């Protein structure tokens, strides 16, 4: 494998444990593979597929929370552009060219691909999942024969409409494709490189040429470590939801949901509705921060209605809501047995003497989402700091990045949910059609989309500000707490590196190897940066967004110029 050697600052979805578009399936800890024992314990604790959503499987085993991407459905036309490398000493291959390449098949990517195709563009959609929908619209495997997959989602009708339009749009859908880099030859000359396989491990390079690229790469969960967070039974909050949506399994029978952000309410209500006992939702921030932006609240009554639905579900299932609190320690021998919940001050520092133990066999935890922007930053795209201390792409009113010909939509521009992602995907597609000489559609529709985007983006900024992590959270870390799970780097070693002169995450990495493991900093990047004194990880520029087999690189045949192809026919 070729593994990137810098921390993977903002990268995916869901998401990911996020519900962002096109983000990868989430393992129990965001960005890291799920240990087999953890998957088995999660499956066993739930007793197989959740009965009310799944048909009987004839004695078959339940499917766990990890979705394995495939080559797509029978309707996919992967062979049109998947370049099969020639045998050593053989001839050269060629790659077909499209007007638009869309990376990510979630809400934003799906809306962008469908709209662009309906406006007359030749479109290819590359997604690492087997099915479109991203983290937000994740669906159970067909083998589970789910009776009501829509019961685990809201806004399902909007997704069903996009999926139906995709089927008749003429879009080339490349499922199970991991995009590892995007090359720029000019404003209208782009090459998208991908590998295939469940983990991108197949030595089968794919190369797609396009006149424009739309990045709809979703987001992934931000994890802030604490003592005991490496025990089996600790899962990402979005990861727990992905287990339920994709595998119809619960992470445990008695699940505490903790962290910060509106995703916690959705996760808790979903788990409780599926049969789990949820003793508490532990929110580190609270909800009074929304009151500081009344205009954003008043302009988005639908968001308030969604919160009311989740709140009613928590009341119905007698789930306690504890704000200004955090899980500061997990207890157990072989797996989670209990958690300690501690009150926090305004800076997220633990208040001594306020700890309370809650018995549970699983913990679903997440502290917001991080936009997936690695492909964009490798091309030098400008970024902006979000109110919750992450980095997002700086986009203009057309959703174009600072690099001409490269657009972004959905979570890469700042986490805002599926409704915003759909609006941005369509708006970007119309802008791209206009740039490439096509018809962007009625001007009234563009104005409507821009107004919708402004309204929803204002709410997203209010949401990010209300749930921004406070600087005092590092005080709940003991020196023995592992921060970088991949390289087993403790908080004490990172603090020691700072005492020796490290002043940023990159220098800490050089001193300790924190962020140099398999996940490339997706899990520990934010924590390492905070311990080093920074507010958020820097936007690294590196050539590989995902691990790539050396065989795949070696198999990349030189491209044949179009005129040479014609002369050889």
Residue 564 has pLDDT above 60, yes or no: no
Alpha helices in 119-262 (DSSP H): 156-167, 237-242
Domains 78-220+371-462 and 223-367 share a fold: yes
407-465 pLDDT per residue, tens: 999 999 999 999 999 999 999 999 999 999 988 988 899 999 999 999 999 999 999 99
For residues 295-305, average pLDDT: 90
| pLDDT class of 545 with cuts at 50, 70, 90 | confident
Residue 155 has phi, psi (to 5 degrees) of 65, 25
Structural class in CATH, domain 223-367: alpha beta
For residues 119-125, average pLDDT: 97
| 3-state secondary structure at position 341 | strand
- Cα–Cα dist 238/56, whole Å: 26
For residues 124-132, average pLDDT: 93
In this predicted structure, which of 149-153, 183-187, 400-404, 496-500 has the lowest mean pLDDT? 149-153
Cβ(404)–Cβ(444) below 8 Å:
no
- Cα–Cα dist 87/317, whole Å: 61
- Cα–Cα dist 385/182, whole Å: 23
pLDDT of residue 562: 52
**How many residues in total does the chain contain?**
569
- Cα–Cα dist 377/61, whole Å: 42
What is the greatest pairwise CA distance in the chain?
A: 80
Cα torsion at 428, 431, 433, 439 (round to 10°)? 130
pLDDT of residue 344: 97
Half-sphere exposure (Cβ direction) of 18: Cα atoms closer than 13 Å: 37
Between 214 and 246, name the one with better pLDDT.
Answer: 214
- Cα–Cα dist 62/198, whole Å: 19
Residue 70 has pLDDT above 80, yes or no: no
pLDDT of residue 549: 85
Give the C-alpha distances (Å, rounded to integers) separating 286 from 282, 324, 345.
9, 6, 11
Alpha helices in 97-188 (DSSP H): 107-118, 156-167
| pLDDT class of 75 with cuts at 50, 70, 90 | very low
Enumerate the domain spans of the chain: 78-220+371-462, 223-367
For residues 357-379, average pLDDT: 96
pLDDT of residue 559: 61
CB neighbourhood size of 161 (10 A): 12
Place of tokens 């595998």: 247
pLDDT of residue 560: 57
Of all helices (H) and strands (E), which one includes residue 422?
helix 418-435
Nearest to 495 by CA among 487, 481, 486: 481
Q: What is the dotted CATH code of the domain comprising 78-220+371-462?
A: 3.50.50.60
Q: Return the bridge partners of 225, or none.
A: none
Euclidean distance between the first and the last CA atom of the chain, given in angstroms as a whole number: 37
In this predicted structure, which of 62-71, 214-223, 418-427 has the lowest mean pLDDT? 62-71
**Region for residue 566 given its phi and psi (left: phi exceeds 0; alpha: psi -120 to 50; beta: otherwise):** alpha
| 3-state secondary structure at position 313 | helix
- Cα–Cα dist 212/458, whole Å: 28
pLDDT of residue 151: 74
């Amino acid at each position: 494998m070729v593994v990137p050697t810098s921390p993977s600052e903002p990268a995916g979805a869901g998401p990911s444990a996020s519900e962002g578009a096109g983000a990868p399936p989430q393992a129990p800890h965001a960005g890291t593979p799920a240990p087999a024992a953890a998957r088995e314990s999660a499956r066993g604790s739930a007793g197989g597929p959740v009965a009310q959503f799944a048909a009987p499987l004839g004695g078959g085993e339940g499917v766990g929370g990890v979705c394995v991407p495939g080559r797509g459905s029978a309707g996919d036309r992967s062979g049109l552009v998947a370049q099969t490398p020639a045998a050593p000493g053989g001839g050269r291959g060629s790659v077909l060219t499209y007007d638009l390449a869309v990376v990510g098949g979630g809400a934003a990517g799906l809306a962008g691909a469908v709209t662009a195709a309906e406006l007359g563009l030749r479109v290819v959609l590359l997604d690492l999942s087997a099915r479109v929908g991203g983290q937000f619209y994740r669906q159970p495997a067909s083998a589970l024969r789910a009776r009501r997959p829509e019961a685990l989602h809201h806004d399902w009708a909007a997704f069903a409409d996009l999926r139906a339009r995709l089927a008749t749009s003429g879009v080339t859908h490349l499922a199970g494709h991991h995009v590892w880099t995007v090359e720029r030859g000019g404003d209208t000359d782009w090459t998208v490189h991908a590998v295939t396989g469940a983990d991108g491990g197949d030595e089968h390079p794919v190369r797609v040429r396009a006149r424009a690229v739309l990045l709809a790469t979703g987001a992934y969960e931000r994890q802030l470590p604490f003592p005991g967070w490496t025990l089996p039974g600790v899962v990402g909050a979005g990861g727990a939801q992905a287990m339920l949506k994709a595998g119809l399994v619960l992470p445990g029978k008695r699940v505490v949901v903790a962290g910060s952000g509106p995703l916690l309410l959705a996760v808790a209500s979903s788990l409780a509705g599926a049969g789990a006992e949820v003793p508490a939702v532990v929110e580190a921030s609270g909800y009074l921060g929304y009151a500081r932006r009344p205009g954003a609240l008043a302009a988005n009554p639908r968001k308030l209605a969604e919160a009311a639905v989740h709140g009613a579900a928590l009341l119905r299932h007698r789930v306690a809501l504890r704000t200004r609190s955090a899980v500061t320690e997990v207890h157990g021998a072989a797996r989670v047995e209990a958690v300690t919940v501690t009150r926090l001050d305004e800076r997220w520092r633990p208040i001594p003497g306020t700890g309370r133990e809650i018995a549970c066999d699983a913990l679903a935890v997440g502290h917001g989402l991080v936009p997936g922007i690695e492909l964009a930053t490798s091309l030098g795209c400008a970024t902006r700091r979000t109110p919750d201390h992450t980095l997002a792409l700086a986009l203009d009113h057309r959703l174009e990045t600072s690099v001409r010909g490269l657009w972004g939509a959905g979570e890469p521009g700042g986490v805002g949910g599926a409704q915003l992602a759909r609006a941005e995907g369509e708006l970007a597609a119309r802008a791209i059609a206009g740039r490439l000489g096509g018809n962007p559609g009625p001007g009234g529709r563009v104005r409507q989309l821009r107004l919708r985007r402004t309204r929803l983006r204002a709410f997203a900024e209010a949401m990010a500000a209300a749930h921004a992590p406070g600087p005092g959270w590092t005080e709940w870390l003991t020196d023995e707490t592992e921060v970088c799970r991949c390289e087993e780097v403790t908080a004490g070693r990172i603090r020691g590196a700072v005492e020796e002169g490290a002043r940023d995450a990159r220098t800490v990495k050089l001193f300790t190897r924190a962020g140099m493991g398999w996940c490339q900093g997706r899990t520990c990047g934010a924590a390492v940066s905070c311990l080093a004194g920074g507010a958020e990880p820097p936007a690294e520029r590196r050539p590989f967004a995902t691990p790539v087999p050396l065989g795949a690189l070696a198999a990349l045949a030189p491209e044949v110029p179009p005129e040479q192809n014609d002369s050889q026919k």
